[in-house]
Chains A and B, each alone.
Chain A
Amino acid sequence: MVNQSRSNKHWESLMNVPLFQGELVHLIAPEPQLAAGLHSRWMRDSEFVRLLDTDPARLFSIDKNKEWFEKNLVEEQKDDELFLLIRTLEEERTIGLIGLDGIRWTHGDAWIGIGLGEREYWGKGYGTDAMRILLCYAFEELNLHRLSLSVFEYNPRAIRSYEKVGFIIEGSARKFLNRDGQRYDMLFMGILREEWERR
């Protein structure tokens, strides 16, 4: 039981950290309608899609996307994943998505993924800021031991950003990707809790 007389300023300052706010962006829970509208627009940008995922680029209606978000974010919310949107602090503009998936609670490992759908925010530190927020959440709130991610070799901007927040390259899946007939590696990166704490 908490003894109120023992509460002190240090404890309070630790508990009241704004977990979902960084210096440029904050992370918000997605409303299916908003997420579906943005997603439909971002998925038309095939360069974005080819940086984001290995799935083939394809187009769905806003209604279909909304149905998907309602099912996956609201009705069948899973214990092993988390999906948030990235919003700028200055203009309150939603510029991208970020999340964890495949959280393996017994091992303390999870995959992290991020994408900025709004191109004018690429290369300006917005993604790095969002990653720092989610890393803090993963290690301090979820108490995970490590985080993993995969990134394509033709995406040096993302690799630099991940290195900036402390990820190191742990290897690759050689020639995993086939883009217009050319093969590219998929890199694996990881960060351990102690590396994040030492940052």
Chain B
Amino acid sequence: MEWKTPLFEGQMIYLASIKPEKDAELESRWTHDAEYQRMLGTDRVCPLSPAQIRKKYTEIEKEMDEKGNQFYFTIRRSPQEINTDSTTEGEDGAGDLLGFIKLDWIEWSQGVSSVSLGIGDPAERGKGFGSDALRLLLRYAFGELNLYRLGAVIPEYNQVALRLFEKSGFKVEARQREALHRAGLRWDSIRLGLLREEWETR
């Protein structure tokens, strides 16, 4: 890859910063969808108000700035993908917000980090936005941050995410048996990993 190749521009999406006011309204709506929160991981499912989401954004930006151990991006629909009848709200609109993707738990001394992502609106899932965003984030992690390995932790019941990560080169490395209790059933937590040399030789 040439050094000039844009880091944040995908085919269908682009990575951007948080736009606190507008994004919070939309993300608050997503948190009222239990499925979205359950698919993301182990946190207690709980609806959040726009004010609570804005507080979360403030904390994320503060940590990114002060600790430098995470990189959080919003995933937004590229302009050419926006139809004339879509809900875009001008050039700074939040109508183009699709989800988020982040690197966190960075340990600089080991060169490792964890990846997670979410596409908020059920109608926008399965269209390749997550895959496009993950491709950009892997290049960012290995090509810009010079990390050596990335991990991901995914609930057994999130088959869509498992397929996405495996398709992007991640290998299943561990299965923590019955680590999740959802909907009255016990589920495994699946841990995946991707090494720099695996990403480079794809």
Contact = CB atoms under 8 A, between A and B. Distances in A.
Contacts of A108: 181
Contact of A173 (B173, B180, B186): B173
A172 B148 CA distance: 16
Given A107-B180, A148-B176, A174 B195 contact: yes
Contacts, number: 73
A171 interface: yes
A146 B175 CA distance: 13
Interface in A122-154: 145-146, 148
B47 to A, nearest CB: 16
Contacts of B173: 171-174
Most chain A beta-carbon contacts within 10 A, residue among B110, B171, B172, B175: B110
B40 interface: no
> What interface size band does chain B fall in?
20 to 34
Contacts of B126: none
B108 to A, nearest CB: 9
A175 B195 contact: yes
Contacts of B179: 107, 109, 146, 148, 190
Contacts of A18: none
The prevalent SS among residues of A at the interface is strand
Contacts of B110: 54, 176-178
Nearest to B108: A56
Interface in B161-202: 171-181, 186, 191, 193, 195
A146 B178 contact: yes
A172 to B, nearest CB: 6
Most chain B beta-carbon contacts within 10 A, residue among A54, A172, A175, A192: A175
Contacts of B109: 54-56, 178
Nearest to B198: A174
Given A107-B180, A176-B149, A171 B175 contact: yes
Given A56-B109, A106-B44, A176-B110, A170 B177 contact: yes
Ranked nearest first, the 9 interchain pairs of A and B with the lowest CB-CB distance are A171-B174, A56-B109, A188-B174, A107-B181, A109-B179, A171-B173, A178-B110, A170-B174, A107-B180
